Structure 1
Amino acid sequence: MNEKNNNYTRKCVVTHEILDVSELIRFDYKKDANIISLDINKTKNGRGCYLKNDPDLWSQFIKTKALNRAFRTNVNIEVYNNIYNELTEVLWKKS
């Protein structure tokens, strides 16, 4: 009974699938500073939401304004574009 359960699952804001956190990308929201950022290492403090690690879901992510719904705030399109650029540089490198 002293073993720690490391099988964390979270829900994707686009597909609404419950997946292991290793299959998801985390976005962090600091309400006091009103900053939304990409959390690649999943270690930042603050409210978070998750997206399945699939580049094909990005258009649906923007269309449904998933960050707006998850964080209950208005998010500019520039924030989505900055996060997309960061994702393409770090995770979705085109070969």
Structure 2
Amino acid sequence: MKQKKIPMRMCLGCQEMRPKKELIRVVKNKENEISLDFNGKKPGRGAYLCKSVSCFEKARKGRKLEKAFETSIDEEIYELLKKELEAGND
């Protein structure tokens, strides 16, 4: 039996390749709203982060999300994403 291919994605924080299911997708939709997608099903442009706050902080410090989405991101959005990430880890 043929083994199923596991899709790999790179975390923006630690720059490690991991299976897609282990990462959280950050999505920018057509209205330029940025949100976290824990299921990986929301429509829009996606970037991936590990489920740790430290990787989120590294991506924030290096402005990785802004580069991935080619837009500026307000501090309020970063704070909302951080709260959502912390709540999602519980």
| Equivalent in the alignment of 1:40 | 38
Partner deviation per Cα, 1:11-48 (whole Å, 9 max, x = no partner)? 11122211101221101111x31101100111011110
Divergent runs of 4+, >4 A: none
Q: TM-score, normalised by structure 2?
A: 0.87
CA distance in 2, matches of 1:62, 1:23: 20
Q: Among 60, 63, 84, which residue is 1:62 paired with? A: 60
Specify the structure having the higher radius of gyration (Cα). Answer: 1
Counting aligned pairs with the same residue, the percent is 32
Structure 1, unaligned runs of 5 or more: none
Matched residue count: 90
Q: CA RMSD in A?
A: 1.8
Structure 2, unaligned runs of 5 or more: none
Q: SS of the residue aligned with 2:71?
A: coil
Partner deviation per Cα, 1:48-92 (whole Å, 9 max, x = no partner)? 00011222223212111121011010001111100111111122x
Q: TM-score, normalised by structure 1?
A: 0.83
